[in-house]
Amino acid sequence: MKKILLFLIGYFLLCVNLSAQTRRDGEILFNEGRYSEAYDIYAQLMNRYPKDFLLKYQAARCLFAMERYDESLVLFEAAKGKDIKKANIYLGDIYFSQYRFDEAVEAYSSYLETLDSTQDSLVNIYQSKIFNSNLGAGMLERVEDIAVIDSIKVHKQQFLSAYRLPRDLGKLDFYHDADDVPTEHPQVAYYTGRGDKMLFAANHGEQLDLDVSYRLVGGWNEAVNLSSVLNTPEDENFPFELPDGVTLYFASKGHNSLGGYDIFLTRYNGTINDYSAPVNIGMPFNSPANDYLYVFDEMAHIGWFATDRFQHPDTVVVYEFVPNKERVLIKTDDVEYRRLVSQMKVYRRANLTDEADENEASEVGEKEAEFNFFVNDGIVYTRMAQFKSEEAKELFLKAQIADKRLLTLSRLLEGKRREFFFTELLDEKNQLRSEILELEAEVRKHKKLVDEYILQTRQEEIKKLKNTGI
C-alpha cells in the first residue's frame, strides 16, 4: 500500500512538472512569435485541465495574435470571468474592432481600475482608448444613410486609379518628397481644376503635414504649411478641395480620430484668414481602421472614399457612392443593423438605371447652370430661361438628366474594366465580364436617349420659333 501511495505521489509530481514545463515551452514559443505552435501546446493542456482559466487566457492570446478574434473572444471572456484582469485589454480591443463600443469602454475601464499611480503611461493609454470608444459609441448613434454605386478592391499604392475626376474638378496624383522617405500610406497631392494651386502631404520631421503651393508665372512657388489649425503632431494627408475654394476634405490621424486616418471637413474663413476647426464626417465613412480621400463631383452627383477596414494590409476598397445633399441618418433602434451599415457590410444600392422622375427634372432645372445648346446655325441658348417652348424645355431637362446618368454609368464601366484588368481569379473575371456587358448595354442605351432628347428638343423649339415668327 505504501509503495502504491509513493507511486501515485511521484506520478502526480511528474505530471505537475511536465505541465509546468509545457507551459514554459508555450510561453517561449509565444514570445518568439510562433503563435500557432504555442496555441497547440495550450490547446492540449486545456483538454487535460479544462478548469484552468489561465490556460484559456494564454491560448486566447495566441488566437488573438493570429487574428482569430472570434475564437479568442470566447476564451478571453471565460478568463475575465475568473478575474484574470489582463483579459480586459484584449477584450477591449476586440469589442472596439467589432464596433461594440460600450462593451469596449467597460473592458478598458475594468483594466484601468487595476493600475496604480506609478503606471502613468499605461493610465494615459487606456484613458485614450476609453475616449475613442465613447467617440465611436456617439458616432454609432448617428450613422449616415448613403447609396453605394460600386466598390473596387485595389492595391494601396495604386488606389488613385479608382477615382475618375472630370478635368474641371482637378487632378489627384501621388506625391514624393525629395528625400523619398517611405510612408505607410502613399502621400497624395490635389491640383485644382484651374491648375494654379496644389495641396499635398509632405514629410515634416516625424509626421506628414498638409502643405500648399501656388503656380506663378515662373512656376510653382515654395510650398508652405497649409494651416496650424489643420496640421497636428500626427499625420495629415489626402486633401481634396471643392471648386468653391473654401471647402476642404482631408484625412488625419489627429483631431481625435476614431482610429488611424479619419476623414475631416473644414472651411476657409476669410475673416480670420484660416480654416475652421475640422469636423469628423462620421460613419459609415470613418471607422476604427484607416479611411481617407473623400472626393465628390457635385455636377455628376457621385463621390468616392477609400478604406482599409477588414482588408489585407496592402489592399484598400474604394467605394463609389451618391452624396446626400443634406445628412440623412439611419433611422432604427436596431444597434446591430447600425453596426453592419457602419462597417459597410450592409448598404443601400444606388439605382442608376431608373427612368428620370419629376423630382430629378426639377432639381436640374433649379440649378440654372450655363450651357451651350445650338437650336440652329444662328441661335445658341446658354440658359433655361431662353427656351420659348415649354415642351422643348422639358425635353432638354430630360436630356440633361440622361446625360448625367450616362456620365455616372460610363465612369462605373471604366472602373469595372480596370478591375477586370487587375483581377487574376477566373470566377471573378467571368462575373466582371457579365457586369461589363450589362453596363455597356446601359451606356449605349443612355447615349441613344440623350441624342433622341436633344433632337426632339431642337425640333420642338424650332417649331415654336416658327409659330411665333422669330
Cα gap 42→60, rounded to integer Å = 9
The backbone torsions φ and ψ at residue 76, rounded to the nearest 5 degrees and listed phi first, read -65, -40
- Could you give the number of structural domains in the chain? 3
Same domain flag for 164 and 255: yes
Q: Strand, helix or coil at 223?
A: coil
Domain hosting residue 199, numbered range: 147-349
Question: What pLDDT is stored for residue 328 in this prediction?
Answer: 92
Cα gap 232→210, rounded to integer Å = 10
Mark residue 392 as left, alpha or beta (left: phi above 0; alpha: psi -120 to 50; beta: remaining): alpha
Task: Per residue of the chain (470 residues), give pLDDT as tens.
Answer: 544 544 444 444 434 444 566 888 899 999 999 999 999 999 999 998 999 999 999 999 999 999 999 999 999 999 988 889 999 999 999 999 999 999 999 999 999 999 987 888 999 999 999 999 999 999 999 999 999 988 889 999 999 989 988 888 899 999 977 655 667 889 999 999 989 999 999 998 889 999 999 998 888 999 999 999 999 999 999 999 999 999 999 999 999 999 999 999 999 999 999 999 999 999 999 999 999 999 998 877 889 999 999 998 899 999 999 999 889 999 988 999 999 999 999 888 886 544 333 344 444 444 445 678 888 877 888 888 888 888 888 888 888 877 877 877 787 787 778 777 777 778 778 888 888 888 888 888 888 888 988 898 888 888 888 887 66
For residue 62, what is the domain's CATH number? 1.25.40.10
Same domain flag for 205 and 316: yes
Same domain flag for 340 and 214: yes
Same domain flag for 120 and 155: no
Of 292, 320, 293, nearest in space to 418 by CA: 320
Sign of the alpha-carbon dihedral angle for 83, 84, 86, 87: negative
Same domain flag for 159 and 186: yes
Same domain flag for 409 and 311: no
The answer to whether residues 222 and 213 touch, using CB atoms and an 8 Å cutoff, is yes
Question: What pLDDT is stored for residue 467 in this prediction?
Answer: 80
Same domain flag for 152 and 195: yes
DSSP secondary structure, 105-150, as one string: HHHHHHHHTT--TT-HHHHHHHHHHHHHHHHHHHHHTS-B--EEEE
The backbone torsions φ and ψ at residue 165, rounded to the nearest 5 degrees and listed phi first, read -85, 135
pTM of the model: 0.73
Same domain flag for 311 and 169: yes
What number of CA atoms fall less than 13 Å from residue 299's CA on the CB side?
A: 16
Same domain flag for 271 and 385: no
The three-state DSSP-derived secondary structure of 244-270 is: CCCEEEEEECCCCCCCCCEEEEEEEEC
| Amino acid occupying residue 289 | A
Residues 6+ away with beta carbon under 8 Å from 82: 53
Residue the block writes with cell 511536465? 18
The backbone torsions φ and ψ at residue 142, rounded to the nearest 5 degrees and listed phi first, read -130, 70
Q: Strand, helix or coil at 464?
A: helix
Same domain flag for 248 and 397: no
Residues 6+ away with beta carbon under 8 Å from 241: 170, 190, 192, 197, 199, 247, 248, 249
Same domain flag for 102 and 21: yes
